[in-house]
Amino acid sequence: MNQIGIEPPLGPKGSSPAEHDGAGRRVRPYAITSGRTRPLGGDLPVEALVQRTAMGGRALPTAHLERRRILELTAEPLAVAEVSALLRLHLGVTAVLLGDLVAEDLVIVYLPPAASASRVDLVLLERVLQGLRSL
């Protein structure tokens, strides 16, 4: 860990480990998503929670690379943004991978309730602020 308590990326030359194959060669994000830039079924809000389904648990032993890591991480609900950060992958790449897993019923998405324009949930905002400060 460095001085501010954040672990540096583990990949060569400061890139994320998910962007490298076993031989240390760089893997482009579009290769991870098969060239797609949008998730199947539409965009996922960054605050949406994702969780592995029972089918996803059974698929875990045969899943490959990032898909396996997502299934491991989502045993408990996690926000899309948290999955992205833990994988050290771009948010768009993570959303595409999650969209694939949702389409295959390996992951379920819990969308946040629609925010009311007239009412701000101060408790939620305070919890988000507290979470950000703890990072």
Per-residue pLDDT of the chain (135 residues; tens, 9 = 90+): 444 444 444 444 444 444 444 444 456 665 566 556 566 667 778 888 999 999 999 998 988 888 899 999 999 999 999 999 998 888 888 888 898 899 899 999 998 776 444 456 778 888 888 888 887
Check residue 132 and give its pLDDT. Answer: 85
Domain ranges of the chain: 12-113
- Write out the E strands in 13-111: 49-52, 78-79, 107-110
> Could you tell me if 29 and 93 are in contact, meaning their C-beta atoms sit under 8 angstroms apart?
yes
Check residue 73 and give its pLDDT. Answer: 94
Rounded Cα distance, 53 and 56, in Å: 5
Check residue 72 and give its pLDDT. Answer: 95
Check residue 34 and give its pLDDT. Answer: 56
Structure token digits, residue 34: 């098969």
Check residue 75 and give its pLDDT. Answer: 94
Check residue 124 and give its pLDDT. Answer: 80
